Amino acid sequence: MSHEPALDGTLHVLPFDSGSLATRVADIYTTALESADGDPRNVLVLKRLPTGIDEFTAALRDAAELEGRPNVKSLPRHAGMVLEEAEPEITRLGYEERIEFLARVLDGFDWSPYFERASEHDSFGRDVGQVLLDATWNGGFDVTPDAEAPLAGTDDEREQYDAYLRELAAVNDAFHERLAERDLLEQAQTIERAIDALDRTAIRAQIEREFDVVLAVEFEECGELDREYLATLTRNVDLLCVGEEHASIERTKTESGSVRELAPALSVVDHTDESNAETTPSVPGAETETGTRTEMAGRAFGSFLATGGGGDRNGTVAGDGADGGDGDGNTVKSDPGTGANENEAYARLISEPTLDQQVEAVANEIEFLRAEHGWEYDEFAVLLRHVGNPMPRVRRVLQHAGVPTASAGVNGLEQDLAVRELHALAQYHIDDSERAYDLLDARVPELDENLIQGCVVRNSIAESLKRWIVTTDLKRRIAADTEPIDAREQFRNVSRLLSIAEFVDGQDILAGDWIQFVTMLERAITYDAPYAHTAAVSVPEGGVTVGDVGLLKNDSRTAVFLLNVVDGEYPGEETLSPLFPTAWIKQMDGYPAVTNPSAADVATTYATVEAADITGNAFERYHDERARRQLAIGARAAEEQLYFCTYRQTDGSIGRLQHRSRYLHAIEDCPHLRVEEVAGVGTDRNIHTLGSASTEILAQPWTELERIQAEASTGGDVELESTEETLAAIQRVLETRETVDSRFERAVETQFDLARGAVRPAAGQREPHAETETETETETVTNDD
């Protein structure tokens, strides 16, 4: 583990606020530009997080009114460029390649009994791989070397835990040694190796010719190794850092403390007390009827969650009158549209029985807002706390409801039909599997044995796959059979498979045959982690952005839906890793995460807690507050509409009961933050998606329809208004959708027939409706459709 770097420069501390990062740093950038002769090439802007580089660059150019393009790179990318200059022979592994190399090291390692038992679990390789990845990004495990460790047989329980970490450190060292033998490097080693490279005089001279000033933004997310890189890089040039207070969500997983504590030697310029700081304006929201612009809808909610305040820049709540006044005895005027007064921030709540119904309600609300305001799909974001499960499930539900989705991460390999096709092709070459042939036959027109064998290129898996792709016109088939957003993802996944195949062809330690390719592909599918492929915030496909809250840390959308705002997620239970019990991890100071914080650590990291409130639960409280901050980051991304979304059970009546997040309760208890529940379909929301239509149809009980028929046939009065509205809305959705499964249309027609009192026709045959009293009495159900 590296030591605290000696950073020399200036740190600009911004308040927790919403809005464009480029706009907030524009004045600071302009000042740096003036000191560099006005040439954008001489100011290197390093963004800590790799997301949204192109978008940030374009926005900074506009905000600073530049003619040329600012010199912006992510910090990891710049370190990679330094390493390419210093060691051009080095090849950095892709994610799938890392999995395969590491698996070989893990399989041959002489494990202690504890890890030997753990290795029997299917997830062992993935779990170990994640811990090693986290450790490498942070400079390694901070544990005492074996030679300096206490003698065996002591009663020091911590020594046993350190022994486990030393074992993992040994595995990591063996892994990196194996890579070094072949001039390979994993991505997480890049920054550490670049620091070493900058100590070489020739490399430093070459790199320093490229800039005169370094501006590091998102400094609040810079970990110890990142700060060491900045210190080494700027040894002979000026350094300006810009960090946002109360905003770190990545660094705080591995390191406690506020942004002001990261580099004590930096001169601090404090912008948090500036009431109208030009460097920190909010992005304007919707234009009101009076022509004025309102601030972003999620700003007050984000401020409350991050700082404990509810409204202004200093974290205080706007107005504190207990009787609905403004705190000075004045009555506050209410907004007639929402019931909220002008000093209240306003958000909506979607609450449904199950997780899937929650997502279906979100889809319907998106379509409602599109119809109401004319917003495009790319103006919406659906955010979860984490990128992993249940994100693929959320995307599928949205897509099945007819809402196109896009994500900054590549979709999992397992769900991709093109990946399944290429996997089946490889499997057929291995064992002539009938199942594999049938899958290929279903995907490829006019398939035969000659076609399969004609695509084989001797001694090259990659070239064989490429020939198959061209011969069977796979890219055209993907484009023809798949929505544009999904097609782009399938193209990326096909590229990933070709990279795996090229790796199999090029490494002499691998067998270089179809068996090796399938083994590596199946391992990649098993360990596939969407977060590993995150590349950009912008989603040019034009769909609804689906991702984790950190994806929009310095970006925004017109409407933001925060999913799963339940206690099981916000804050949830922090386990850090399945490899060890949490009780053990709490005592592992060398683990690559915050494991043993003091009450003071928690209080200095988060403004929402006092040290006196923490009594023996510092670990839990630390990570609970981190979850609260993540919710704050997601909330502040909403420009005009913010939705908190909850569900009661995961899967119907057998699912685990969920309760609304304690942080949502805190919001509801705040007198100046208003959350109003969105009523379900059939009340203040019509049906706007196929998912809502199908759900509503299935929700119509046959016994209720029979009651209506019976009542109508005897001349009684029947209240049909709600049924009319529901069925009319369903029919409107069907009429406006171009692609609807014919089986679904027939199911809807059957329900319409039943509502009219008609005899159900035989399958595939439509019969004239009987002219009965029942049909006459219920005709109004569909007359207005």
pLDDT tens by residue, 452-491: 999 999 999 999 999 999 999 999 998 887 767 677 778 8
Q: Which two tokens stand for residue 628?
A: 């609260």
- Between 754 and 504, whose confidence is greater? 504
Cβ atoms of 282 and 296 closer than 8 Å:
yes
Give tens-digit pLDDT for 49-95.
888 898 899 999 999 999 989 999 999 999 999 999 999 999 998 87
Main-chain dihedrals φ then ψ at residue 571, nearest 5 degrees: -95, -15
Distance set, CA 466 to CA 220, 457, 462, 511, 684 (Å): 45, 9, 6, 20, 53
Structure confidence by residue, pLDDT tens digits, 706-723: 445 455 544 555 555 655
**pLDDT given for residue 736 in this prediction:** 61
From edge to edge, which strands make up the β-sheet containing 43-47?
Answer: 71-74, 43-47, 213-217, 238-244, 10-14, 267-270
- Torsion sign across C-alpha atoms 135, 136, 141, 147: positive
Dihedral in degrees, nearest 10, Cα atoms 357, 361, 363, 364: 130
pLDDT tier, 275 (very low <50, low <70, confident <90, very high otherwise): very low
pLDDT, tens only, 188-198: 999 999 999 99
160: which residues sit within 8 A by CB, 6+ positions away?
none
pLDDT digits (tens, 9 = 90+) for 366-397: 999 999 999 999 999 999 998 777 887 888 88
- The token duo for 599 is 């009450």
Q: How many CB atoms lie within 10 A of CB 498?
A: 17
| Residue 742, pLDDT above cutoff 90 | no
What secondary structure does DSSP assign to 238-290, as a single string? EEEEEEETT--SSHHHH--S-GGGS-TTSEEEE-TT-TT-TTSPPPP--B-TT
* pLDDT for the residue numbered 143: 84
Which of 16-20, 31-35, 254-258, 579-583 has the weakest average pLDDT?
16-20
* Cis-peptide into 571, omega within 30 deg: yes
Confidence grade of residue 584 (pLDDT, cut at 50, 70, 90) = very high
The pLDDT of residue 719: 59
Question: For position 64, what pLDDT does the model report?
Answer: 94
Q: Mean of the per-residue pLDDT values for the chain?
A: 80
pLDDT tens for 489-537 read 788 889 889 988 998 898 877 888 999 999 888 887 777 654 343 333 3
Per residue in 631-690, pLDDT (tens digit) is: 999 999 999 999 999 999 876 555 578 899 999 999 999 988 999 999 765 445 665 555
Would the pLDDT of 774 be above 70?
A: no
- pLDDT value for 522: 84
Give the residue among 262, 268, 259, 211 at the shortest CA–CA distance from 234. 211
CA distances from 752 to 65, 700, 731 (A): 60, 11, 10
CB 44 within 8 A of CB 73: yes
Q: pLDDT higher for 175 or 529?
A: 175
> Residue 37 pLDDT more than 80?
yes
The answer, yes or no, to whether residue 595 has pLDDT greater than 90, is yes
Q: Which two tokens stand for residue 358?
A: 């929650």
- Between CA 537 and CA 70 the distance in angstroms is 19
CA distance 291 to 644: 28
| CA separation for the pair 717, 777 (Å, rounded) | 10
